[in-house]
A = this chain, B = another copy of it.
């Protein structure tokens, strides 16, 4: 590929980018699209929507860029959470290190490469791109020490910057932990693997165990029920049957006796009623829905939330091995209430390790199956091969323009389209793995997508050109540096176009929110549905973090070998910085947060990229027969790995647990100020397994800005769901009944008739 073709490709992309950005700056001003472009603001800040028609709306502007850049880190933290800040720091880190790398490589390495051999130079636009790579430097060149020094500088500065960022995120994580709004997750432990005893109910078991062994800090608990679809129907039917039975029998003093049972649905223990005498009126109402004889059947609990008096108490209970069987009474700090992934939480703990292995194997298989389209794409950039195989293309490809388009642009676009399927599949794998929180699921998917991208975009593409079979690559580890050193400069063309198309274009499409825009249009003008104010997507960290890190990997590996990629990459990072900040502030809503756990992933990827770069350079110096440069690269690899090890010792533990000192200080602070009781009070309604989503949404809308009294809302919904036919008087009074879907009532009716039939058979 020639410089000219590259410039064609760059021209197309710059044009597209400017077009999309202008389009965005116009579209965002249209009131119709406000839900697409300001989802977070509307959902969280309740801005009013201005609908006036003014000409200004149709003039492209750059105000949004200024706004995105002006936002401080504190504002970002408040608006989009710690993960957003961590993601932002990844971009900042990339911008910094690649600015330096671009400076050093474009002005230091590029001329050395270009004038590396005494060949006749054409005019620059007609030069082959290979002239600018290290492949053009002569064997035993005297100038290879410059490359070696530059790789030292880049690695050193990258490590320093990484350490600063890591420390910064760790500090923010501690601040996040100490944030003023108390987080119920800090007081709560998720217990799994509760052993079944035939005598007592599961809830009693949990209560006994924690009263016995964690008495000083144990508060109360809440059992989690299995909630498969069948389970849901059966539970509903049983409850209905119970109500049915209640009607037949006389139930005189049930309301008195039942107080000591747990609230069946939201699972708060009896303590909650003792501690909250104001709820007594409600609780009797709830309690008479329960029946001690039937309660036992519901007790197939597999997990429970256990609440503690102090954060430190919860931490200790979570960290300590409870019993002599490590698969029983497994305790972990609970995710935050909004973060809980309810459909996984009741999975038997014993299954999890096998699920993890199965999904790991599944992901690996998927990674290799994906090789097929990638190999095909790689064929496109080697036109001669393609023309041999598909002779009818010869005519089309003879025109020069088409030729440049196909080699410079098409392969990445096709790859891009295939890559769109990766994220959903990886999310599916991560779901099957059985994480207990949304954030954990996303983080796990993030790692999977990362491995996938690095393998399929970098290794396979780079190596498919040189090695016939990719699988053979790993069969000779000793030759890897040499193989890579031969392959990477040769694939510079592909990598640069990948940055141009995949990088720049993905940013534009991210900014435009094409899917959202089209969907919004269809909803509004074709389906004529009501606006759904609540549905605001959360930021797809599992696709964006790997993307940014992949470009970082490309940047590091190509920096010395093919420095021409760096300006294009810098544009990507600068543009990305603006676009992602804008999107995080305006579009996406943060429902759950990992608390900066994406940073260690990013850190590891950067270290991997650095070491890979150094290994490739080692191979290159070996090929160029420069033993001095190669010899100096080996200590650099060791130093980089030592630095990583130091970070693992010094900073990683903070991302795995919380320091006792901070938790104890917070507990004391809360106790001193008297806030603790209020926090304990709120814990009772924090976790709610079967919230009626519509309920909550309606409630939220009515009690906006005052969501403290939100409550669990499930006891009411229980009455509503099943008691419909029997006690219409009581339930109709509920303000949310209007929104109840008919299908639920039908299910309940069907289940009741089924159960009655069953009982009849049993009796006769």
Residues of A within 8 A of B (CB): 170, 174, 212-213, 216, 315-316, 319-327, 353-354, 357, 472, 474-479, 642, 645-646, 649-654, 657-662, 664
- Known A353-B645, A660-B322: A327·B650 in contact at CB below 8 Å: yes
Report the separation of the CA atoms of residues A520 and B475 in the bound assembly, to the nearest whole angstrom: 57
Could you tell me the distance in whole angstroms from the C-beta of A39 to the nearest C-beta in chain B? 35
Decide: A645 and B357 in contact? CB cutoff 8 A.
yes
Asked whether A324 lies within 8 Å of B174 as measured between CB atoms, the reply is yes
A170 neighbours in B (Cβ, 8 Å):
324
The residues of B that contact A478 with a CB separation of less than 8 Å are 472, 474-475
Does A321 contact B660, Cβ atoms closer than 8 Å? yes
Q: Which residue of B lies closest to A662 (CB)?
A: B324
- Find chain B residues with CB under 8 A from A475 CB: 476-479
A326 and B650 contact, CB distance less than 8 A: yes
Residue of B nearest to A317 (CB): B660
19 CB contacts below 8 A, A to B, read A213-B661, A216-B216, A315-B320, A316-B319, A319-B319, A321-B654, A321-B659, A321-B660, A322-B660, A323-B661, A324-B654, A324-B662, A326-B649, A326-B651, A327-B649, A353-B645, A357-B642, A357-B645, A475-B478
Q: Note all chain B residues with C-beta closer than 8 A to A472.
A: 478
Cα–Cα, bound, A686→B542 (Å): 54
**Quick one: closest B residue to A664, CB to CB?**
B213
**In the complex, residue of chain B having the shortest beta-carbon distance to the beta carbon of A212:** B664
Which residue on B lies nearest to A326, using beta carbons? B653
Q: For residue A174, which residues in chain B have a CB less than 8 angstroms away from its CB?
A: 324
Question: Do the beta carbons of B324 and A659 come within 8 Å of each other?
Answer: yes
**Central interface residue in A170, A315, A320, by most chain B CB within 10 Å:** A320
Chain B residues whose CB sits within 8 angstroms of the CB of A353 once the complex forms: 645-646, 649
Residue of A475, A477, A646, A661 ringed by the most chain B CB atoms within 10 A:
A661
**Which of B324, B477, B650 contacts A477, CB < 8 Å?**
B477
Given A321-B658, A324-B654, 19 more A-B residue pairs with CB atoms under 8 Å apart are A174-B324, A213-B660, A213-B664, A315-B320, A321-B654, A321-B657, A321-B660, A322-B661, A324-B661, A326-B651, A326-B654, A354-B642, A357-B642, A474-B477, A475-B476, A475-B477, A475-B478, A476-B476, A477-B477
A152–chain B nearest beta-carbon distance, Å: 21
A200 to B477, CA, bound (A): 55
CA distance A321 to B357 in the complex (A): 29
Question: Min CB distance, A644 to chain B, in Å?
Answer: 11
A651 and B327 CA atoms in complex are apart in Å by 9
Given the complex of chains A and B, what is the CA–CA distance between A650 and B653 in angstroms?
24
CB-CB nearest 6 A-B residue pairs: A475-B478, A326-B653, A320-B660, A323-B661, A324-B659, A321-B657
Complex Cα–Cα for A478 and B469 (A)? 14
A322: B residues at CB distance < 8 A: 659-661
Bound: A327/B654 CA distance, A? 11
For the complex formed, measure the closest distance between the CB of A195 and the CB atoms of chain B, giving whole angstroms: 12
How distant is the Cα of A476 from the Cα of B476 in the complex, in angstroms? 5
Shortest distance from the beta carbon of A26 to any chain B beta carbon, whole Å: 48
Q: Which residues of B contact A357 (CB under 8 A)?
A: 642, 645
Chain B residues lying within 8 Å of A327, measured Cβ to Cβ, are 649-650
Residues of B within 8 A of A212 (CB): 664
A215 → chain B, closest Cβ, in Å? 10
CA distance A174 to B642 in the complex (A): 38
A354 to B472, CA, bound (A): 36
The distance in angstroms between the C-alpha atoms of A261 and B215, with both chains bound, is 37
Determine the distance from Cα of A213 to Cα of B665 in the docked complex, in whole angstroms: 9
Q: What is the CB-to-nearest-CB distance from A672 to chain B, in angstroms, rounded to a whole number?
A: 14
Report how far A646 CA is from B478 CA in the complex, Å: 34
Q: A213-B664, A353-B646, A664-B213 are in contact. Are A653 and B476 (CB under 8 A)?
A: no
Q: What are the residues of chain B within 8 A of A646 when measuring CB–CB?
A: 353
Contacts of A657 on B, CB cut-off 8 Å? 320-321
C-alpha gap A436/B623 in the complex (Å)? 47
Instruction: List chain B residues, Cβ under 8 A from A319.
Output: 316, 319-320
- In the bound assembly, the distance between CA atoms of A660 and B321 in angstroms comes to 6
Minimum distance in angstroms from A354 CB to a CB of chain B: 8
Q: Given B213, B321, B479, which contacts A653 in the complex, CB threshold below 8 Å? A: B321
Q: How far is the CB of A516 from chain B (nearest CB, A)?
A: 40
**Chain B residues within an 8 Å CB radius of A320:** 315-316, 319, 657, 660
For the complex, give the distance between the alpha carbons of A82 and B213 in Å. 28
Min CB gap A356→B, angstroms: 9
Chain B residue with Cβ nearest A477 = B475
CB distance from A114 to the nearest CB of B (A): 36
> How long is the Cα–Cα vector from A315 to B316 in the complex, in angstroms?
10
Q: Which residues does chain B contribute within 8 Å of A479, judged by CB atoms?
A: 475
Least Cβ–Cβ distance between A265 and chain B, in angstroms: 31
Enumerate chain B residues within 8 angstroms of A354, measured Cβ to Cβ.
Answer: 642
